[in-house]
Structure 1
Amino acid sequence: MKIRKPDGFKSEKLIVLPDHILMEASSHPLVRPLYVTDTGYFPRALHHYRERPEGSEAVIVIFCMEGEGWYRLGSGRAQPVGQGQAIVIPARTSHAYGSSEEHPWSIYWWHFKGEQTEAFFEGFGLGPNPGHQSGHEPVHESGHGPEAEEATTHVSESDEWNNIGVGAPGTSDGGDLTVPPSRPVKTAASLPVTLPPDKARQLTELFQEGYALLEQGYTLNHIIYVSQLAHHLAAILRLCRLQPQDGIFRHSQHDITQTVRYMMDRLEGTVTLKQLAAQARVSVPHFTQRFKEATGYSPIDYYLRLKIQLACRHLDLTGQSVKEISHRLGFQDPYYFSRLFKKIMGKSPSEYRGTRKG
């Protein structure tokens, strides 16, 4: 008979805050948006298994520090979870998860509630998820994936794209090109999130700090402090989710961070969409799709916004004219630069420079 254990592991840590204390604390404005109801650490949790057909009232976050495990949402397929990966299970969503028998996982875990929980974990099957693809929809609280929503503010005009070395939108080199991949893909909402070593260390430290404080008592001040740690944890996961999770970039030893670095190294020149896809070692359609899913912007939109951010620093810190700055950043037409600046910043370069800061 297969052994299954929900808890009871050697050296485990476990805290479940009492309902009556949480009810009172959750009315505080610094706790209300997001707070921890349960948290724990299960080391080398052999035979660990939990199944909740009706789901949990809380959002569950599990971080695998070492070893291996798996999880399943709704009637979907089980997904493997490995060292350095985190999963987010939406509230009221049928799920199951468990440890590998061969390489038992060691996990930190949290249960979260709060008025803004969906906003904090947006993209993990909670709230809008613009990048999801039909065929692999994440499981949501209602059991259905929402329609994709476009949230990008486009800044291109067909005659203006040529000024920065790219074709008009809609062409094979256009910045607004969004071509669905030829096969269904899994999205960041339905896959574990891989954390870089520094972020994995931060997540571990956040658990240890919060757990140690709650051990000293469930006072309102302690709960407020742990609630703020929860904000930090959610922000880390949100940032890490922006990296591609389906292996398209990972297979080529590339990620979005490298692409952004490539852009930033060339802010005083020009780049094309083909160049960006080539340095990522993927096709233009797949690169565009993945980049937009990760950032919310098409690659060239993002590149232009980086240019305008640098323009702001030049306006703030140098005495160069608008024309000089526009030429320095690779814009041959200062009038186009000024129009683009106003679209992104909400005011002209001259108005921006005249705004009191600090």
Structure 2
Amino acid sequence: MELVGEGFPGQRMLVLPRPQVELALQRPVTRNLIVTDCGYFPHAEHHGWIRTRPIRQLVVILCLRGQGWCETSAGRFPVRAGQALLLPPGLPHAYGADADDPWTVWWVHVDGASVEDFLRVTGATIDSVVREIPDIYGSAALMEEIVRWMERDTTEASLVGASGTAWHLLTSLAFSRAPSAGNAQDMVERAADYLRSHINRRVNVSDLADMAGMSASHFAAMFKKYTGVPAMTYQTQLRMASARELLDTTQQSVEEVANAVGYDDSFYFSRQFKKLHGMSPTAYRRHDAN
């Protein structure tokens, strides 16, 4: 199988220049933990790395959808949606997407004096590299926040922000308890939180179900049972609430509001808005001003 490290439609990837890494490792806060690389690879067909020459960073890969695999000196391990890889630094390893059902992943590399302490606390070793994620939606949100900090710029403030979020991510992986088996209500609440924090992202039922480790039909039934509405109706309600706030409090155009709440097509947004409110966004803004 040919493995590729990057180049996927919709990907996000940040690499901190190595001279800046070395400087950060001499500063307060970031000397303990620094994000050196991070990104998001959707439907990453043929993705993978074979590292026969070890790197000094801890590699964390969060599988949202699809499947993948990992190989260490301890053997080969499958990775599925809702699991994470924690690959300790300084040891050879390989990983990649499943050929038939390629994974979608958030990933981060971290360095610093506290990495070894974290590994000791979690018990992460080369023999135990695959972990169940206690809160897949929360972990995905933290991964995205890390990427946003790194996309912002490479100032000390942004690097500290990314480091703080990485601490949150790593400690949540170390100490949070997974929801008890069959506790669908907890999972639905986490999915609802994820939708609330990703108003402008395209998220469908299959995405949410994969992250929860459920079939789409079972997830849809559970979501409606515990919230009273289908997941996509819930998402639309959230988007429209955010749109109302923007129409009330800003001078943004209807197209700008539509984009801000996750609609690429402002005409479709206007139709959805009118369906829910009985008037167009423009009429709503005029009516609210009177």
- Which TM-score tier does this pair reach, normalised by the shorter chain? 0.5 to 0.7
Q: Which amino acid aligns with 1:215?
A: E
Q: 1:89 aligns with which of 87, 109, 112?
A: 87
Give the alignment partner of residue 193 of structure 1, picking from 98, 106, 131.
Answer: 131
Cα drift, residue 53 of structure 1 = 1.2
- 2:165 matched residue in structure 1: 229
Query: Secondary structure at 2:23's aligned position in 1?
Result: helix
| 1:288-332 Cα shifts (integer Å, max 9, x gaps) | xxxxxxxxxxxxxxxxxxxxxxxxxxxxxxxxxxxxxxxxxxxxx
TM alignment of 1:174-193, pairs within 5 A: 190-193=128-131
Cα distance, 1:125–1:217 mapped onto 2, change above 3 Å: same
Answer whether contact 1:69 1:81 (CA < 8 A) is retained.
Answer: yes
Partner amino acid, structure 2, of 1:195: I
TM-score by length of 1: 0.48
Residues 120, 231 of structure 1: 8 Å contact kept: no
Task: Give 2:35's aligned residue.
Answer: 36
Give the match for residue 80 of structure 1.
78
CA RMSD of superposed structures (Å): 2.2
Q: Secondary structure at the match of 1:223?
A: helix
Rounded to whole Å, the distance in 2 between the matches of 1:208 and 1:243 is 21
Structure 1 unaligned regions, length at least 5: 127-137, 140-188, 255-358
More helix by share: 2
CA deviation map 1:127-181 (0-9, x unaligned): xxxxxxxxxxx43xxxxxxxxxxxxxxxxxxxxxxxxxxxxxxxxxxxxxxxxxx
- Please state if 1:207 is matched with 2:146: no
- Counterpart residue type for residue 46 of structure 1: E
SS in 1 for 2:75: coil
Once residues 46 and 62 of structure 1 are traced to their aligned partners in structure 2, the CA distance between those partners, rounded to angstroms, is 16
**One-letter amino acid of the counterpart of residue 114, structure 2:** Q
Kept in 1, the 8 Å contact 2:11–2:41? The answer is yes
Runs of 4+ aligned structure 1 residues displaced above 6 Å come to none
* Cα distance change, pair 103–114 in 1 and its aligned pair in 2 (3 A): same
Equivalence for 2:154: 218
Distance 1:6 1:41, change over 3 A: same
Q: In structure 1, the residue corresponding to 2:3 is in which secondary structure?
A: coil
Shift in Å, 1:122? 2.2
Deviates more, 1:21-30 or 1:43-52: 21-30
Q: Aligned in 2, Cα 1:124/1:80: closer, same or farther, shift over 3 Å?
A: farther
Please give the residue correspondences for 1:260-339 in structure 2 after superposition, counting only pairs within 5 Å.
Answer: none
Question: How far did residue 216 of structure 1 move?
Answer: 2.0
- Contact 2:72 2:93 (C-alpha < 8 Å) held by counterparts: yes
Secondary structure at 1:120 match in 2: helix
**Equivalent position amino acid for 1:192 in 2:** V
Residues 66-145 of structure 1: matches in 2 within 5 Å?
A: 66-74=65-73, 76-122=74-120, 138-139=125-126
Q: Tell me how far apart the structure 2 counterparts of residues 191 and 223 of structure 1 sit (CA, whole Å).
A: 27
C-alpha displacement of 1:22: 2.0
**CA shift for structure 1 position 243:** 6.0
CA 1:243 to 1:123, structure 2 compared with 1: closer, same or farther past 3 Å? farther
CA distance in 1, matches of 2:101, 2:10: 18
Counterpart of 1:78 in 2: which secondary structure? strand
- 8 A Cα contact 1:88 1:124, kept in partner: no
Q: CA deviation at 1:5?
A: 1.4
Larger radius of gyration: 1
Change (3 A) 1:191 1:117: closer
